[in-house]
Amino acid sequence: MLRRPLIVAVVIGTAVPIMAVQRMTIGLFVSAALSFLFVIAIQIAVGAVLIASAASRRVHLSRALDLWFAGHVPYSLWLLLAAAAIAAMPAAGLDGLIAVAIIPAAWTAVIVAAFCRNVLGTSRAGARGRATAHFLAMWGIALQLVALSAGGWFQVWAPIARVLQ
């Protein structure tokens, strides 16, 4: 059950130092991997709720969570490609990388819907609903973390309000 979440931790531990300081050391790897374990914990919690709520689940919870993390491939690839792009062009902004995040977001929605149909045994409509709920939960949590990191929502909205005026 922990094999694939640990792979995600390795991807994060590799990508974050490269994106932050354009280098990799064992210390940076371990620090980044441990610092971002909360992301994996959130994904486990959201996945466990989604899985446990399916009465027609076809596999045990531990196997379902393992399969759930197989769906992290789009974001893992995006993180590694983003790290490679930043390493190749350190002066480049994050705007383009953030903009192309729509690709793993859409790809993940398809994977989550397929997971719901095949592993959880839901109908197509149920799978779409669960994929939508997953998308809203994960992006809602991510946006909240960004806002908290920026000093609160007022810090996020202030520059946007200035641009809109």
How far is Cα of residue 73 from the mean position of the Cα atoms in its chain? 10
- CB contact at 8 A, 19 and 82: yes
- CB contact at 8 A, 122 and 116: yes
What's the rounded Cα separation, in Å, for the pair 32 and 48?
24
What's the rounded Cα separation, in Å, for the pair 51 and 33?
25
**pLDDT by 10s per residue, the chain, length 165:** 788 999 999 999 999 999 888 899 999 999 999 999 999 999 999 999 999 988 888 899 889 999 999 999 999 999 999 899 888 887 766 677 778 888 999 999 999 999 999 999 999 999 999 999 999 998 888 888 878 877 877 777 777 777 787
